[in-house]
Amino acid sequence: MTKIFFSFISVCFLTATAFSQSTFSTETKKYIEYYDSITVFKNALLIDGKGNTAKPHQTVIISQGKISWVGDDVKVNIPKGAKTIDLNGKALMPGLVMLHEHMYISAHSMETRQANARQLPVTFPRLYLAAGATTIRTAGNIEPYSDISIKRDIDAGKYPGPSIEATAPYLEGNGSIFPQMNELKKPEDAIAFVNYWSDQGFTSFKGYMAIDKPTLKAAIDAVHKRKLKITAHLCAVTYREAAEMGIDQLEHGFLACTDFSKEKKENECPADAEQSVADINTKSDSVKNLLQFLIDKKTIITSTLAVFEGYTSAQPAPSPELLSYFSPDSRDFYLKLFARIKSVTAPTSDDKAFVNGAKMEKMFYDMGGLLTVGTDPTGNGGTIPGFGNWRAIELLVEADGFTPLEAIKIATLNGAIALGFDKNIGTIETGKSADLLIIDGDPSTNISDLRKVETVFRNGVGYNSKKLFESVKGKVGFN
Ligand SMILES: [Zn+2]
């Protein structure tokens, strides 16, 4: 995390201050609605991110990009020269901390089914910020230098976007389906790979489906030696094996779990991977034992239900509004794939796996596991940042059965804890970074009200959500 603002500047100095040390480009300024040394949010419905019931008539003061005071409207001392925003009962909640994000979209060949991904450095960062994602972890990339440049340019104020926890290129084994992925042949390759990309500025890592146990183990140890974190989208290695080896996190809830496969051979991704999740008996002792093992090993799980919903027969049809954001070729790809998925007879193994995965996420959380959430803007091409962020969080309520307050906590505080950033982000508390969302609704009772976000404050600077969305209309898929 790059801290743009001074953490403390004395009050008398505030009006004339060095708050403007961030130099925003003319382009970024187009989306900035509030940029004041001290901002007072009055009469807020406060959702703190910790899961507590929303409190009406609250005031939050931010100074120099940090939260400096939180409390009842009637108890506030408004500092001189402060910008005051009367929220009139609108919700104020922490910015979203989303953990399975990417700067690329699916761009497979419809005809040959050859896998491909396309980097979208222009539109994706804006969509993330527009939806309220103030911090994202990129969870694997296909163009490392592009990802690092995007992060640097956002931090420098050149382009609008979220804070980025940059994940290195994938740690993949033999037989990758993506042409952009390197194949590690042996454990020594993983060590060299981790050290190289750490030196280039990446601060987290992700193992991918074909990686085998010895190579993953070498990667985990090398990452931990650099005091960094590693997650994985597994297949050839089981959840139990990876947790035993000390991995920090696992992606895609339990939908990438091959622990219950009947065809599983050591270090191989089984052919029945998906069917085996569809066939899981979630009430069995073996499921409970695995969940308890992961919790004992402090393995964090990331839910990514939005991208998996895109393979279910019951998924909703895309709204005209969502479609209006796509470039013609990406819209065409998505609609064709959507039609293909919808043409099958329900329930499919994808449908059943989705239900089981959702159940296991809730069980894992209820048993004491740390659950986080991410979007994974890939899949059928229709899950994109912004709309996909909201959908991933809505599904925590709709599919998993969490309360809206729990879902918000998973999408804010839990994400911050997983990244090790919870001292600085994830809740509305004094001393934390002013990453805040103004919402014209109440997502603590209706989670879909997240879609009513108006202003997104990142490090104390307020961006106009609508303007950010409008700036990418018709372009998502092109750049
Ligand atoms: Zn992913």
Question: Would the pLDDT of 14 be above 50?
Answer: no
pLDDT of residue 6: 38
CA of 45 to the centre of ligand 1 (A): 34
What's the rounded mean pLDDT across residues 401-422?
Answer: 98
Q: Is the pLDDT of residue 24 over 60?
A: yes
Task: Please give the average per-residue pLDDT across 354-367, as a whole number.
Answer: 98
Distance from the alpha carbon of residue 372 to the mean position of ligand 1, in angstroms: 14
| Statement: residue 162 has pLDDT above 50 | yes
- Separation of CA 105 and ligand 1 centre (Å): 10
170 alpha carbon – ligand 1 mean position (Å): 10
Q: List, in order of start, the domains of the chain with CATH numbers.
A: 11-94+428-470 (2.30.40.10), 105-117+168-419 (3.20.20.140)
Segment 165-181 mean pLDDT: 94
Q: What spacing in Å lies between the alpha carbon of 232 and ligand 1's midpoint?
A: 9
What pLDDT is attached to residue 346? 87
Mean of pLDDT values over 147-155: 97
C-alpha of residue 315 to centroid of ligand 1, in Å: 20
Residue 166 DSSP class: P
Give the model's confidence band at 133: pLDDT under 50 very low, under 70 low, under 90 confident, else very high: very high
pLDDT of residue 177: 87
* H or E element at residue 322: helix 320-323
pLDDT tens digits along 251-282: 999 999 999 999 999 999 999 999 999 999 99
Whether the full predicted model's pTM is greater than 0.75, yes or no, is: yes
Instruction: Quote the mean pLDDT of the chain.
Output: 94
Cα(108) to centroid(ligand 1), Å:
15
How many whole angstroms from 373 Cα to the centroid of ligand 1?
A: 12
Q: What are phi and psi of 338, to 5 degrees?
A: -60, -45
pLDDT of 4 over the 90 cut: no
